[in-house]
Structure 1
């Protein structure tokens, strides 16, 4: 990207989807998905169970994930100037859940639509964080790069 990272923050670590999927299978007999279509059905169900506290023995609770991500975002909003954050789809989904006041199903749907290496821009204006750009891929817009637009 042309930038040298000056800080790594563990609060930007991805949610532990595979651990959540294993808990779903272990507790409810719901097998992990093997296709993109199955994943699109599975992810909202996993998020729903996780958010309701119905998954045991997972590395992090939904509330813990929510607190660490939104805590970082609120901290960044208190700084001056621009901030570049590089993270993953689950964190992006949680940030947008917070910014757009989405329910958990809405968060899961945002996660399913987030393309790999996509760009998102948030603006902190009038003491409110707002979505300015979602899922942009200008670096993949050329026809010879279309194959690189992926979701999973």
Structure 2
């Protein structure tokens, strides 16, 4: 006698198969999504600072050094003279120029003539010419890589970056 066997599967078995299929689909979907959402290159803080330094340096290269010098500007410190020149000529000074002028002012501390106004020691026209010569060197020859490296080492570098307002 031949017996026909019929095997019935329970609903639990069907549910399990459906769940496994759904999990596979979700996993595949997540893998595809991960590939789509993953940026081609991770952008780091260093990359951002490097890009800012590059844009800054390119902009500073475009600013012409004043060819005519105004009247003699009285000053007591290098940074004071720089502030007057920025106002007089309406343009920023390079980050490296500002840092160097601060160092020059600091180097006077403890000297015999520390309290003497700087324009009584160095003629104002010579001092102004010195700043513009330095400025030209910094604007035209500084590497944005060097700037970025300095900026990354100094979280307060913003204090020495003059505001830049492009002329429209």
- TM-score w.r.t. the length of structure 2 is 0.19
> Bigger relative contact order, structure 1 or 2, given CA contacts below 8 A and separation 6+?
2
Greater percentage in helix: 2
Give the structure with higher Rg (CA): 2
Structure number with higher strand proportion: 1
TM-score between the two structures when normalised by the length of structure 1: 0.20
